[in-house]
Amino acid sequence: MAPEPKPLRDIEGLLIDAGGVLYQGDEAMDGSVEALARLRKARIPFRLLTNTTRTTRTALAHKLRGFGFTVDEGEIVTPASAAIAVLRRDGARPHLLVHPDLLPDCPPEAPAPDAVLIGDAGKHFTFENMNRAFNVLIGGGKLYALGKNRFFRGSQGLELDAGPFVAALEYAAEVEAVLIGKPARDFFLAAADALTLAPQKVAMVGDDVESDVEGAIAAGLAGVLVKTGKFRDGDEARAKKGGAHVAASLASFVEEFVQASASRSAFAAAFTASRDTSSAPCRLKKP
Ligand SMILES: [Mg+2]
């Protein structure tokens, strides 16, 4: 039997995927601009969680503002920005093998590296750069990957993503990469931490049943699949089987969520009021 989805009234903050949920191609999804504004008005904390490894948070915030969203780059969590926290936690000193465009979001290159941070470096995956990374790893370094996708559809058709290069380094140095982007547990936990909420009080809203929804549920968050973007027939049944909520779009989910959240606030207010009465100092009867 499928597990029950976590009740929405128990959720206090949201992580929202960007591509396929907020926008598709060159335009915002229907109602998504208003949905984000509604969350803000209702004072529901959220972060935008995206797996982009070629665009900085500044560039993505600029793009989203172009679609009409009100969003600050500090509200965006990317694998590169999460890598800073993960590497700090592990005390790792990274050598960077990432696209130069991404450098502003990455931790700084360490003078004596004992780790490699690899992202989609595109044409910068030269022999020299791969070999430098290999030498850090063969000397005992740890490999951290911003993503491990095999390929993506770029402006020139299908293009190699970071995955094949991560696999080459894993093979050569006989190591296994620590994955930082979705669906890695650390990524969801770092984003929940950015909301200063426990993972079980956070829901991830995404259009990718595997990476967004199942990944979040495995990390202890609630999962919400929206039927936009890359959603395909069959994803709904799979999401429900895993205990996720399913909504037609971000707009329809936000509608449902804001109502659940309002009922929670009303319940909490009533509970506090009743506690105030019961905890009022007792008047002892005079003997
Ligand atoms: Mg997406």
Tens of pLDDT, residues 153-212: 777 788 898 999 999 999 999 999 999 999 999 899 999 999 999 999 999 999 999 999
CA 24–ligand 1 middle distance (angstroms): 9
Residues 195 and 255 reside in one and the same domain: yes
Residue 174 lies in domain: 91-179
In the prediction, which pLDDT does 274 show? 66
Residues 188 and 163 reside in one and the same domain: no
Helix (H, G, I), strand (E, B) or coil at 268: helix
Average pLDDT value for residue range 277-285: 45
Residues 114 and 154 reside in one and the same domain: yes
CA 210–ligand 1 middle distance (angstroms): 11
Residues 201 and 154 reside in one and the same domain: no
CA 17–ligand 1 middle distance (angstroms): 6
CA 93–ligand 1 middle distance (angstroms): 31
Nearest to 251 by CA among 39, 24, 7: 39
CA 51–ligand 1 middle distance (angstroms): 8
Positive/negative CA dihedral, 201, 213, 259, 29: positive
Residue 287: Cβ within 10 Å count = 3
CA 279–ligand 1 middle distance (angstroms): 49
CATH of the domain at 160: 3.40.50.1000
Residues 98 and 175 reside in one and the same domain: yes
| Residue pLDDT, tens place only, 86-135 | 999 999 999 999 999 999 999 999 999 999 999 999 999 999 999 999 99
157 part of a folded domain: yes
Last residue of a domain, one of 156, 179, 202: 179
In the prediction, which pLDDT does 36 show? 98
CA 97–ligand 1 middle distance (angstroms): 24
Residues 142 and 200 reside in one and the same domain: no
208 part of a folded domain: yes
Residues 134 and 171 reside in one and the same domain: yes
Last residue of a domain, one of 149, 179, 209: 179
CA 139–ligand 1 middle distance (angstroms): 37
In the prediction, which pLDDT does 9 show? 93
Q: Which residues pair with 90 in a beta bridge?
A: none
Residues 203 and 162 reside in one and the same domain: no
| Residue pLDDT, tens place only, 3-27 | 899 999 999 999 999 999 999 988 9
CA 52–ligand 1 middle distance (angstroms): 10
Residues 16 and 96 reside in one and the same domain: no
- 204, 205, 209, 213: CA torsion to nearest 10: 10
CA 214–ligand 1 middle distance (angstroms): 13
The domain total for the chain is 2
77 part of a folded domain: no
| Residue pLDDT, tens place only, 41-67 | 999 999 999 988 888 999 999 999 999
Residues 230 and 174 reside in one and the same domain: no
